[in-house]
Amino acid sequence: MPVITYREALRQAIDEEMARDDSVLLMGEEVAQYNGAYKVSRGLLDKYGDKRVIDTPITEESFTGIGIGAAMAGLRPIIEWMTFNFSFQAFDQIVNNAAKMRYMSGGQFKLPIVFRGPNGPAEWLSSQHSQACAAFYSHVPGLKVISAATAYDAKGLLKSAIRDDNPVIFMEAEFLYGLEGEVPEEEYLIPIGQADIKRQGKDLTIITFGKVLHTALKAAKELEVDGIDVEVIDLRTLRPLDEGAIIKSVNKTGRCIVVDESWPYASVGSYIAWFVSNRCFDMLDAQVELVSSEDIPMPYNHRLEVAAQPSVEKIMAAAEKVLYLN
């Protein structure tokens, strides 16, 4: 299979769906003439023109609302926010309009719209631009929430999101755009709501999603040196959640660590830790451990911002607790 970047996988997904369906359009900050803030939309303006690849002002509430109206009228907009931190400006549009309109209209309106962009901490962005936003949107019924960690998953899930008749929150990460991976040349879709076992194991389950999947996989390799066989589950979709995959894995291993780059309080990770403790109680041999970012605004100092986030060392320390190694 060809090896391409995560960025290129996203571009291929958008390009293929725009070619397949002329109701698909891309709208957002710098997506057209600048080829996207992270160059995901490179070349799409030249190919599809300014009626389908649309630069917007830096007014998230307004162009998000325009996209929602376009979706209600039968188009399939892809709304790109330069960062999910900016999506807070459009929170009312997302939560009170996009998420609720299909329900409140008794199904008379469909809402085929995708909201996408980078989520979570990057580097030297300080408190206001380093927030992991998964919990905010996973909390809202009516939204589907995706967090793809590999190029393969990014393409297959984005194509499924664009074809879905419901609003989809599609979370990427700045650190992932240059990540390379194998992506088939032939078309494929990944079903929304299906987790993936990125590493098989029998001694311990690590459940995670998004950028920190790669941190979890590194920790699993370190634990393998000590003879510990770790299974790593990539949730991929946060809402709807693949509960069956979680239960099956934890029932097999009897031990579980959840890794989430969000704050610990009322996060996706804390919900999953509760879910495992509740649904797999009889099969657990140790309490569930949560590895998250520290419960503080993100520091600007680089050493401090790294220390505030999940790490291989923190996952190893959690493993010592659940495996009774210390």
Residues 128-174: tens digit of each pLDDT: 999 999 999 999 999 999 999 999 999 999 999 999 999 999 999 99
Q: Which two tokens stand for residue 185?
A: 């040349």
pLDDT value at residue 74: 96
Query: Sorting pLDDT into bands at 50, 70 and 90, what band is 326?
Result: low
Q: For the chain, give the percent of residues with pLDDT over 70.
A: 99
Give the burial string for 41-79 (b: 16+ CB within 10 Å, else e): beebbeebeeebbbbbeeebeebbbbbbebbbeebbbbb
Residue type present at position 206: I
**Catalytic choice (16, 30, 61, 129):** 129
pLDDT grade for 325, boundaries at 50, 70 and 90: low
Q: What is the DSSP string of 160-212?
A: HHHH-SS-EEEEE-GGGTT-EEE--SS-----TT--EEEE--SSEEEEE-GGG
Report the distance separating Cα 288 and Cα 280, nearest Å.
10
**In the structure, what pLDDT confidence band is assigned to residue 280 with cuts at 50, 70 and 90?**
very high
Query: Hey, how many other C-beta atoms are within 10 angstroms of the C-beta on 88?
Result: 16
pLDDT digits (tens, 9 = 90+) for 193-247: 999 999 999 999 999 999 999 999 999 999 999 999 999 999 999 999 999 999 9
Tens of pLDDT, residue by residue over 16-55, are 999 999 999 999 999 999 999 999 999 999 999 999 999 9
pLDDT value of position 324: 85
Are 3-182 and 196-322 equal in CATH topology?
Answer: yes
320 catalytic, yes or no?
no
| Residue 224 annotated among the catalytic residues of the structure | no
Q: Over 90: is that where the pLDDT of 70 sits?
A: yes
Helices (runs of H) and strands (runs of E) counted in the chain: 12, 14
Element (H, E) at 213: helix 213-225
CB 116 within 8 A of CB 79: yes
Selected catalytic residue, list 8, 17, 29, 60: 60
Residue ranges covered by each domain of the chain: 3-182, 196-322
The CATH code belonging to domain 196-322 is: 3.40.50.920
What long-range pairs does 222-225 form, CB within 8 A, spacing at least 24?
222/312, 222/316, 223/316, 223/319
CATH topology of domain 3-182: Rossmann fold (3.40.50)
Alpha-helical runs (H) found in 28-77? 44-48, 60-72
Query: What's the whole-number average pLDDT of the chain?
Result: 96
Residue type, position 116, single letter: R
